[in-house]
Amino acid sequence: MVGVGMTVQRSSRRDVTGVELINEAVRAALSDAAMTRKDIDAVVIGNMDHFEGINYVDTWSVDGSGALGKPVMKMTTGGTTGTTVAMGAYYHVASGMFDRVLAIGWEKNSESDTTGAIITAFDPFWDRPTFGGAVAGLALEATQYMAETGASEEDAAYVAVRDRKNALNNPYAHLRMELTIQAIMETPYLAWPVKLGDMCPRTDGACALVFASEDVADDFPNPPAWVRGLADRHLWAYTSDPYVNQKVKGGTWFPAMEMATRELYDRVGITDPLEQFDVAELYLPYSFAGLRYMESLGFCERGGGPELVRSGATDMGGKCPVNPSGGVLSSNAIGATGLLRVAEAALQMQGRAGDRQVQGASLALATGFGGCYWSDEIVLGSEMPDVGRG
């Protein structure tokens, strides 16, 4: 990755259309890489159609995206859209067919009701009549996590406090707040045990990244951030299926994340993620994810999430700071969110993350989460990997 662009993340950007919002991020990324539109060989773009009711973003956005007259491919995988777009752009470059590929993720969540739109992503007759969107779906796993580990709502609130405090260092973040656990606890329940303060906001924003082949990676003003490896798993059809697989596949929390993690860590040589990663930008859409997903990512044993985060190991200055940007709990323009995790990890690897920089960071983990517990994971490094294949 040789160029990074992002818009300021805000609750509503009525001053721009989606195409114009995309263009802001694209211009920033091209400028960052000292490129013009002409230098781009192909474009990969993604969002979730139902949030804007625009079903052909690849065509609709060509003026703003810079894809006019170029190969363009749309990728949409739910919450993982942004990380899938990053993977798609990487595959374009790694195939040897393209040298400079633009990856774009965006959303204007202000243009529709987020919960209603999310419900339409699920099965029309099995799931929709009773589903309450991401909030209700995530609450089911939070209940289970607390029942089986003894974790508390306060443990989860620690994660929300951490990420939003980190956002104070990120001028692009949407919610930038110094909060207390007590303040989170006093917010109303949306779906017990998940409270307003535990959930991500809904955001308008866009992100663009320039991927380049190793042959041209030194032609840009900034040092590249390298893809060291990636893996993804999508497992389930219906909203109730993830709970089945936990039992069938050996009592794990999040089989898709654990499968992707095993493949990725084997490939990159990660045996102790807490020690080996210098920073992580994780798709934690609500506070309890910051406990439970840490276990599926191998940062601690099952049930060890609360102790891990309360030790300060994931705070700024800790062993592996999580979400220096403020993460998804601070900004969630859904189609941009996964790509922002990759972009923030790239900035960390380039040493260009400003006030949110983890000093000397050279290995980072970025993840995407979505749908019925899908998982995309990418390891980035400041040095070029030894082997060609990521």
Partner 1 sequence: MSDGGVKRMYLVVESGQAEQPFRWSAGTYGSRFLTAIRDDGTFTGIKCPKCGHVYVPLRRVCGPCFTEMTELVPVSNEGTLVTFSVVSFGFVDPSTGKHRAVPYGYAVIKLDGADSYLIHFIDETDPAKMKAGDRVRAVFEDEGERTGSMLDIKHFELV
Site residues (vs partner 1, CB under 8 A): 14-15, 53, 113, 115-117, 119-120, 123-133, 135-136, 139-144, 147, 188-194, 237-241, 243-244, 248
CB of 76 or CB of 276, closer to partner 1: 76
Distance CA 291, CA 187 (A): 20
Q: How far is the CB of 196 from partner 1 (least distance, A)?
A: 8
Shortest distance (Å) from residue 8 CB to partner 1: 15
* Cα–Cα distance for residue pair 141/240, rounded to 1 Å: 11
Beta carbons of 106 and 338 less than 8 angstroms apart = no
CB nearer partner 1, residue 32 or residue 153: 153
What distance in Å separates the CA atoms of residue 339 and residue 83, rounded to the nearest whole number? 5
Taking the least distance from each CB to partner 1, the nearer of 128 and 178 is: 128
CB of 383 to partner 1, least distance (A): 39
The C-alpha atoms of residue 77 and residue 193 are separated, in whole angstroms, by 27
**Least distance to partner 1, CB of residue 124, Å:** 5
Q: Which residues pair with 380 in a beta bridge?
A: 227, 364
Nearer to partner 1, 175 or 212 (CB): 175
For 103, the enclosing helix (H) or strand (E) is strand 100-108
- CB 259 to partner 1: min, Å: 13
Is the Cα torsion angle 7, 11, 16, 20 positive or negative in sign? positive
Identify which of residues 237 and 384 has a Cβ nearer to partner 1 in the complex. Answer: 237
Whether the CB-CB separation of 319 and 313 falls below 8 Å is answered with yes
CB of 155 to partner 1, least distance (A): 17
- Nearest-angstrom CA–CA distance, 99 and 108: 30
Rounded CA gap, 281 and 345, in Å?
A: 6
Is the CB of 192 or the CB of 269 nearer to partner 1? 192
Beta bridge partners of 206: 106
Q: Based on CB atoms, which residue is closest to partner 1, 190 or 380?
A: 190
Q: What's the CA gap between 75 and 190, in Å, rounded? A: 31
User: Residue 145 CB, nearest distance to partner 1 (Å)?
Assistant: 9
Element (H, E) at 305: helix 305-310
